[in-house]
Amino acid sequence: MDNLNLVSTFAEFKELKNIDKATMVGVLEDVFRHLLAKTYETDENFDIIINLDKGDLEIWRNRIIVEDGAVENPNAQISLSDARKLDATYEVGEEAAEEIKLSDFGRRAVLSLRQNLAARIMDLEKANLFNKYKEKVGEIITGEVYQVWKKEVLVLDDDGNELVLPKSEQIPTDFFRKGDTIRAIVYKVDMKNNTPAIILSRTAPEFLERLFELEVPEIFDGLITIKKIVRIPGERAKVAVESYDERIDPVGACVGVKGSRIYSIVKELKNENIDVVNYTNNIQLLIQRALNPAKISSIRLNDESKTAAVYLKPSEVSLAIGKGGLNIRLASMLTGYDIDVYREVEEEDVDLDEFSDEIDQWIIDQFKKIGCDTAKSVLELPVEDLVRRTDLEEETVREVVGILKSEFE
């Protein structure tokens, strides 16, 4: 125990991934100076020499040489006779340097030093890992699935750091096995119980945005800008894009020839349908594009309440609403307006509100919720469909149908 070989004594040094040499030397010196101050009441007259490459450490104690019997402070002074045991040429007034061996501290002190050093290194590793990933928030990373649990997936990065992909941040159709390669964005980084918690996401709009940047060079180069992304993960997404170069068609560039560019994105997102929309500051036009493929007849905006009444031909209503209402939901999210869809009232048709004397308003509202706001739009659907879609009693639906039919007889 005459010298301290850092590499062999502290094996964890070999495994350090996030600590540079200069920082490590600073930590080592700080830990040893703490031990010196505790043992000798001061560390001011000590030199600590650390060579990480060789794994060597030397500690030298410097004291002023005084006449024998004149030592007043043994921590700062040494008698001439004791100094000449170190070097016979020493004289009074000179500074004597004495190497301190590890054995001089005692076994218990060395054990305490090792524990303190290990704790400091661990804290430093955690802090550096936290800072490293804090700078990566919003970036795509690739990792390997290490463990799959019910509520989350444990992912390892290239350095073996543990990352977490919660169930809530997975696409509903995601399915992973141990050893799978996974792509996600760094969603957020928190400190929990002094340990970095690195959370990944595959459902955040930013993940889709980063995928577009990877697949579409014009976006990466800044020729095309993604203005807004809204998505219902695994189902459908709408992406509003804008080009500052009139020669570039932003939608065509994003989709690629025969969908070549968007195909890999759709595949990564488990066949999530992606609508790319040409952005415009004209809200009416943006709503029209957002509700594609439905053909809109007219739009009435209320800028104060941020609502839009969209009128379409009866055959276009289902296209505007989309499967499960996804199309209209995403269009509302993209434009920032609550969109209500109405069938165009033909001259011979009658608005349902005209029947408020005979039909309760709450029943009329039930029909409106499914896009039936005129008498003919209700009569066009079978009673069974109306019962299923409105959750009204069959008897109630038949009464309403009878009232409406009498209007046209």
Q: Where are the strands (E) in 81-234, listed by range?
A: 95-100, 140-148, 152-156, 162-166, 181-192, 195-201, 224-232
How far apart, in whole angstroms, are the C-alpha atoms of residue 370 and residue 390?
7
Could you tell me what percent of the chain has a pLDDT over 70? 93
Q: Predicted confidence band at 48 (pLDDT cuts at 50, 70, 90)?
A: confident
pLDDT at position 183: 95
Among 2-6, 51-55, 400-404, where is mean pLDDT lowest? Answer: 2-6
User: Is the pLDDT score of 128 beyond 90?
Assistant: no
| Helix, coil or strand: residue 316 | helix
| Cα dihedral value 25, 27, 29, 30, nearest 10 | 160
DSSP symbols for 366-406: HHHHTT--BHHHHHTS-HHHHHHHH---HHHHHHHHHHHHH
pLDDT at position 152: 95
- Give 70-119 pLDDT, tens digit per residue: 888 888 888 988 888 888 888 988 988 888 887 777 778 777 777 777 78
- Give 287-324 pLDDT, tens digit per residue: 999 998 899 989 999 989 999 999 998 888 889 999 88
Query: Over the range 2-23, which residues count as b (16 or more CB within 10 Å of their CB) and which as e?
Result: eebebeebbeebeeeebeeeee
pLDDT at position 2: 42
DSSP secondary-structure letter at 97? Answer: E
- Give 193-215 pLDDT, tens digit per residue: 888 999 999 999 999 999 999 99
Side chain identity, residue 96: A
Among the ranges 28-37, 242-251, 255-264, 326-335, which has the highest mean pLDDT value?
326-335
What pTM, to 2 d.p., does this model score?
Answer: 0.65
pLDDT at position 344: 75
How far apart, in whole angstroms, are the C-alpha atoms of residue 55 and residue 80?
34
Among the ranges 72-86, 159-173, 345-359, which has the highest mean pLDDT value?
159-173
- Give 368-398 pLDDT, tens digit per residue: 888 888 888 888 888 988 888 888 899 999 9
pLDDT at position 104: 73
More confident residue, 343 or 234: 234
User: Is the pLDDT score of 7 beyond 50?
Assistant: no
pLDDT at position 16: 57
pLDDT at position 13: 53
Residue 265's H or E segment, with its range, is helix 260-268
Percent helix, strand, coil in the chain, to 5, is 40, 25, 30
pLDDT at position 4: 47
- Give 214-246 pLDDT, tens digit per residue: 999 999 999 999 999 999 999 999 999 999 888
| Helix, coil or strand: residue 50 | strand
